[in-house]
Amino acid sequence: MSTYIPPIRDMRFVLNELAGFQSIAQLPGYEESTPDLVEAIMDEAGKFAAEVLAPLNMQGDLQGCQCKDGVVTTADGFRDAYQLFVETGWNALPCDVAYGGQGQPTVLTAAVHEMWKSANLAFMLCPMLTLGAIEALRHHASEEIKNIYLPNMVEGKWTGTMNLTEPQAGSDLSQIRSKAVPQADGTYLITGTKIFITWGEHDMAENIVHLVLARLPDAPAGVKGISLFVVPKFLVNSDGSLGARNDLICASIEHKMGIHGSATAVMAYGEKVGATGYLVGEANKGLGYMFTMMNHARLNVGLEGVALAERAYQHALAYARERVQSVPAGDKSGVAKTIIHHADVRRMLMDMKSRTEAMRALLYWTAAQMDHANNNPDAAIRQSAQATVDFMIPVVKGWCTESSIEIASIGIQIHGGVGFIEETGASQYLRDARITTIYEGTTGIQGNDLIGRKLAKEKIGAGATAKALQQQIRVCVEELSKDKNLSIIAQQLGVALSDMETATEWMLENYDSNPQAAHAGAVSYLLLTGIVTGGWQMARAAQIAQRQIDAGSQDTFLQAKLATARYFAAHQLPKTMGYCSAITEGSDAVLSLDESLF
């Protein structure tokens, strides 16, 4: 069985040196996030990940969830682990203190959640969906609904789901057909079928609070006619106790490629008279309400990419240290060595390590911008931070998840033939990672969002945030170039930045006049941006490490950080040239073939 060691040393470096946690802890509402408290949270979260969640990961994969007559049973150990999760207060970590939460910063929560997702992604999907539902209700529900549902959801006694898509709808939510019929008592009767509902039914909590998109009888067509409803598994009595079972059922669960420990349900509402639901906010504004938590949801999915990449790396590294095979090139001893001594295995491990560290740094930095956008007392800083978050979220979600698939695949390659055998465990990370590029919006959807609403159609001015970000990176390049130890990184980052600037200008010039060509390059632009901004964070890390080394530090961690930053600069940053060319010169090739010739 694979073990998991939380990379707390790197996490703390990123939190403190790159994400600027000291400034986050000074924001209103975060004053209690002292260094001692943060250290205790990280250490205890790491223990929970390594000792409770990680040992269940393979069990969940092998056993999966079972559905019989609408009742879903989780894999052995999951229910007990969830009860311990709730009892120790972990679910409340990022939640509003008004409803029993601990109110910790987004960036700290990201670090904690990364450990839990690395340890057991299938398990952590349940709290993740609950937190998303909490955010939607906190922002848009009536005080009555908040007071009934949020305290138990924050505690984790009740879990939450998001019910968006339907068999005929896919990502096009304008095609939703589920109905909500108003009743004399102010409730609604919900009927319809929802698919791909993560943790839509299970045995870990006493109640499940479903957030369901549906249409009122007089709703306008399209996305403007969608309303949001709270539809609990068990109705709640006036005293807060659980009442009758609502008219909803899990019709089946999906047999999936990965995340077997998580139940992905087909939910049927109103098989008898209709499921009782409660309107959230105003009618016909449900889709906008659901998108309130989309930045957090997409950040969390990007975090899944980081987490799975880290777990795949650790798994491959452990194997490379113990597998003896062949004499390394140039070794005159004639003695076979462990494969970590072979140059190509070293290349693959460096690729996994450097990319994972870049992803972590970029995601934590983006999460820190969220905290500034939400809590900074300076309105101008809040506005600037929010614009940065909006621009970076599709990049973090798309680049980190796409990278995680490649990294998990490299992990299998390091294992050789046994990596293709399920017993080694290496393949689980690739299977689990594959869904991350799809849910919460495919990479194509993220790319389209990035070049459209976040770049060409940005409200504060087309390309304003991208250009401001590029200027920050340019300043970093200039600073690095002054240090002879870092000048090569500066040179490589500068070339990649020029590619990003060229691609950005091309997108701005062509988005309106040739939208098909622009969208043909959307994913390439997303990946290019991920590499450049991830490389920027690695360059910053190298600069900080070099300063500490110059000051006399002999910390081997800093030496390793320099090495991974140099590897990323040499092996990842040059990829921007290909992406830039694909964007500026490759759209004709994408669109040239007549549909009949495919």
Domain for residue 398, yes or no?
Answer: yes
Using the Cα atoms of residue 384, residue 437, residue 307 and residue 125 in order, give the sign of their dihedral.
Answer: positive
How many Å apart are CA 188 and CA 168, to the nearest integer?
23
440 noted as active-site residue: yes
**Is residue 494 over pLDDT 60?**
yes
Q: Give me the mean pLDDT over the 281-301 stretch.
A: 91
Q: Report residue 272 as tokens.
A: 């008898």
Q: What is the DSSP letter of 253?
A: E
Q: Give me the mean pLDDT over the 226-252 stretch.
A: 97
pLDDT for position 445:
96
What pLDDT, in 10s, does the model give residues 176-227?
Answer: 999 999 999 999 999 999 999 999 999 999 999 999 999 999 999 998 999 9
Mean pLDDT of the chain: 96
**Is residue 2 over pLDDT 80?**
no
**Is residue 588 over pLDDT 70?**
yes
Measured in residues, the chain has a length of 598
Beta carbons within 10 angstroms of residue 336's beta carbon = 13
Q: How far is CA 170 from its chain centroid?
A: 20
Q: Report residue 279 as tokens.
A: 């309107």
Please name every residue paired with 252 in a beta bridge, in sequence order, or none if there are none.
266
**Is residue 363 over pLDDT 90?**
yes
CB 165 within 8 Å of CB 173 = yes
Q: Report residue 580 as tokens.
A: 């830039």
Domain for residue 459, yes or no?
Answer: yes
Domain for residue 526, yes or no?
Answer: yes
**Is residue 1 over pLDDT 80?**
no
Q: Report residue 270 as tokens.
A: 């109103």
Sequence-ordered list of residues with C-beta below 8 angstroms from that of 276, at least 6 positions apart, any chain: 187, 188, 189, 190, 231, 235, 246, 247
What pLDDT, in 10s, does the model give residues 245-254?
Answer: 999 999 999 9
Q: Report residue 571 as tokens.
A: 């092996």
Q: What is the DSSP letter of 425?
A: S
Domain for residue 534, yes or no?
Answer: yes
Domain for residue 44, yes or no?
Answer: no
Backbone φ and ψ for 423, nearest 5 degrees, come out as -60, -25
Q: Give me the mean pLDDT over the 455-464 stretch.
A: 96
How many Å apart are CA 284 and CA 485, to the nearest integer?
58
Sequence-ordered list of residues with C-beta below 8 angstroms from that of 65, at least 6 positions apart, any chain: 72, 73, 74, 75, 202, 253, 260, 261, 262, 263
* DSSP H helices in 66-161: 78-87, 106-119, 121-140, 143-155
Q: Give me the mean pLDDT over the 471-495 stretch.
A: 97
Domain for residue 472, yes or no?
Answer: yes
Domain for residue 161, yes or no?
Answer: no
Does this model's pTM top 0.95? yes
What pLDDT, in 10s, does the model give residues 504-562?
Answer: 999 999 999 999 999 999 999 999 999 999 999 999 999 999 999 999 999 999 999 99
- In b/e form, how buried is each residue of 234-260, taking b as 16+ CB within 10 angstroms? bbbeeeeeeeeebbbbbbbbbebebbb
Domain carrying residue 308: 293-589
Q: What is the DSSP letter of 338?
A: B
CATH of the domain at 484: 1.20.140.10
pLDDT for position 29:
94
Backbone φ and ψ for 592, nearest 5 degrees, come out as -75, -25
Element (H, E) at 66: strand 66-68
What pLDDT, in 10s, does the model give residues 392-451?
Answer: 999 999 999 999 999 999 999 999 999 999 999 999 999 999 999 999 999 999 999 999
Q: Give me the mean pLDDT over the 163-183 stretch.
A: 90
Catalytic residue chosen out of the listed positions 17, 201, 402, 440: 440
Query: If you search the block for the tokens 């931070």, which residue do you land on?
Result: 385
Domain for residue 160, yes or no?
Answer: no
How many Å apart are CA 140 and CA 131, to the nearest integer?
14
- In b/e form, how buried is each residue of 274-306, taking b as 16+ CB within 10 angstroms? bbbbbbbbebbebbebbebbbbbbbbbbbbbbb
What pLDDT, in 10s, does the model give residues 9-37?
Answer: 999 999 999 999 999 999 999 999 999 99
* Domain count along the chain: 1
Query: If you search the block for the tokens 């040196």, which residue do you land on?
Result: 17
CB 4 within 8 Å of CB 54 = yes
**Is residue 99 over pLDDT 70?**
yes
pLDDT for position 170:
78
Query: If you search the block for the tokens 């990280």, which residue do you land on?
Result: 42
